[in-house]
Structure 1
Amino acid sequence: MLEGAKRTANFKVVIVDGKLPVIHLDNFQGPNASPPPLFRYCSDQWSLDIVFPDWSFWGWAETNIKPWKETLKDIKEGNKKSNWKDRVPYAYWKGNPHVASTRQNLLQCNVTSKNEWNTRLYIQDWVKESTQGYKKSSLGDQCTHRYKIYIEGWAWSVSEKYILACDSMTLYVRPNFYDFFIRGMDPLQHYWPIRDNSKCTSLKFAVEWGNKHADK
């Protein structure tokens, strides 16, 4: 046991506070490749970063988000306010579109006088929220629609777990990154996949299908 403890004591890891993976697969090819054990909040198919829970599980004071245990309790209480069939029959998203082009593209799917894509999309202004006491950003009050959209930002988004925690169908826009738990979830069981290259039609179809099969 002492010998094992000595070996364990020499084991070194690095945890980097950042979103994008940095241990690229191309740099570690061949039988003698030994990538460093670097832990990060997300990774992708071209990287070897080891994913582990992100900082927001312990709270995110800058956005008035409480630790996960407390936040999950608030979301569960919000879920109790309405049954799924009684919720607004559209796909809901609220976030910052300025961090990624894919989010800016998503805004083209918002309802207009000419188009109805079965979505209700809102821009989250965190600066304004901070001056108004975060009255319109409570996660426990955002489980009011039958469908909620998850879409990446600069990399993977911490919003993922909050969206999945709602008793709403998660419409999951095809991602480039993964965190520590999403690979254990199955499409059409835990979420409905949305095509990234045709978001509007894909979202419209998902909502129409769900509303037509609301009793299932």
Structure 2
Amino acid sequence: MWWKKNKVQEPPRELLNISTKSGQIASVENYNSFQTRAESSLKQVLDAIKLGIPQHEIKLSLHTGDFPTEQLIKGNFYYCCDKKEDLDFVFPDFIFDHWQQAGIPEFNKTVTEIKEAAEKKYIHSRMLWIGNTQTHPNRNKIIEYSEQHPDIIEAYNTYVDQAVSGKKDIPYISLIDHAKYKYLIDIEGRGYSGRIKMLLFTKRLLFIQDRQWKSYYHFELEPYKHFIPVKNDLSDLMDQIKFVEQQGEDYYNNITQNAYDFAVENLQYEKAVQRIQQLISNL
């Protein structure tokens, strides 16, 4: 086992080891990956291999946790990084396949439904955020803002997977229903954000809080072109909302269309698979 070769005392957490030979899968080892992250990532790798990879033996390790926890070494991949020069280590995340436990049974299907909802006029002229506040203290701040300004911000503290399964008496607002709101905001959790790529399809103005861990495409998003930036501590959130309100409808429509066009061009399952093929081929 690879973890023994690396002299690790215990099996690594959240790790998917894959080796190829003659351009096809030779072996797979999965250690403690959360929910179905390993299965979805493996599916993406298999589809990437179908596009063609080198015939020589290749070994790669995908760390399926929320952020890098080890030194970056060639052949090791993660779902995010914190600086642009490390993008060669970043895989498209498992959600490009599905995240059924969070109400995303199939990425392409969910995106199609979001795009259909995006063509309708929003119903609520407020900002929406819904998520688990236990994953980062900054998420508590959006709840506080919503209590102070309920006419401007609607926010809920919830475990999304439990809401989907009906285990808790809490509101559940699907990603499709996010399009009913004029403004959306993404706030960091334990690590990188898996939903930014889907929110970009909504044609609703997306506010993105500054954070350390970013998906590979995040570095291509431009503030005030694709989204509205917000400081990490959310201290300028109300000012940023006020600023946007003062700019008018054309400003709103221009940014939301830019975000939508970027998502359509770059954030499809097929594009994710192509990126994986390129990363594997470079090993």
Q: TM-score, normalised by structure 2?
A: 0.62
Task: For 2:96 and 2:243, locate their aligned partners in 1 and report how far apart those are by CA, in whole Å.
Answer: 34
Q: Residue 75 of structure 2: which of 8, 15, 37 is its match? A: 37
Tell me what 1:101 maps to. Answer: 137
Query: What's the offset of the Cα at 1:143?
Result: 0.9
Mapped pair 1:149 → 2:191: no
Bigger mean CA deviation after superposition, 182-191 or 35-44:
35-44
Q: Given the superposition, is the C-alpha separation of residues 99 and 135 from structure 1 closer, same or farther in structure 2, using an over 3 Å criterion?
A: closer
Task: For 1:135 and 1:124, locate their aligned partners in 2 and report how far apart those are by CA, in whole Å.
Answer: 8
Task: For 2:171 and 2:112, locate their aligned partners in 1 and report how far apart those are by CA, in whole Å.
Answer: 18
Q: Given the superposition, is the C-alpha separation of residues 132 and 13 from structure 1 closer, same or farther in structure 2, using an over 3 Å criterion?
A: closer
Task: For 1:153 and 1:146, locate their aligned partners in 2 and report how far apart those are by CA, in whole Å.
Answer: 23
Tell me what 2:114 maps to. Answer: 75
Query: What's the offset of the Cα at 1:118?
Result: 2.9
The DSSP-based 3-state class of the residue aligned with 1:143 is helix
Instruction: Number of aligned residue pairs: give it.
Output: 197
Mapped pair 1:9 → 2:44: no
Determine if contact 1:21/1:47 at 8 Å carries over to the other structure.
Answer: no
Query: What's the offset of the Cα at 1:75?
Result: 0.3
Q: TM-score, normalised by structure 1?
A: 0.79
Instruction: For residues 82-107 of structure 1, give each alpha carbon's deviation from its aligned partner in whole angstroms, at most 9, with x where no partner exists.
Output: 1xxx5433221111111111212332
Q: Given the superposition, is the C-alpha separation of residues 210 and 46 from structure 1 closer, same or farther in structure 2, using an over 3 Å criterion?
A: closer
Determine if contact 1:42/1:178 at 8 Å carries over to the other structure.
Answer: yes
CA-based RMSD of the aligned residues comes to 2.9
% identity of equivalent residues: 22
Unaligned stretches of 5+ residues in structure 2: 1-22, 24-53, 251-283
Task: For 1:178 and 1:204, locate their aligned partners in 2 and report how far apart those are by CA, in whole Å.
Answer: 24
Task: For 1:205 and 1:116, locate their aligned partners in 2 and report how far apart those are by CA, in whole Å.
Answer: 16
Unaligned stretches of 5+ residues in structure 1: 26-34
Determine if contact 1:43/1:177 at 8 Å carries over to the other structure.
Answer: yes
Tell me what 2:231 maps to. Answer: 195
Query: What's the offset of the Cα at 1:55?
Result: 0.9
Q: Residue 20 of structure 1: which of 67, 70, 74 is its match? A: 67
Following TM superposition, where does structure 1 have runs of at least 4 consecutive aligned residues deviating by more than 4 angstroms? 46-49, 132-135
Mapped pair 1:124 → 2:162: no
Tell me what 1:111 maps to. Answer: 147
Task: For 1:136 and 1:117, locate their aligned partners in 2 and report how far apart those are by CA, in whole Å.
Answer: 20
Q: Given the superposition, is the C-alpha separation of residues 172 and 135 from structure 1 closer, same or farther in structure 2, using an over 3 Å criterion?
A: closer
Task: For 1:11 and 1:129, locate their aligned partners in 2 and report how far apart those are by CA, in whole Å.
Answer: 39
The DSSP-based 3-state class of the residue aligned with 2:190 is coil
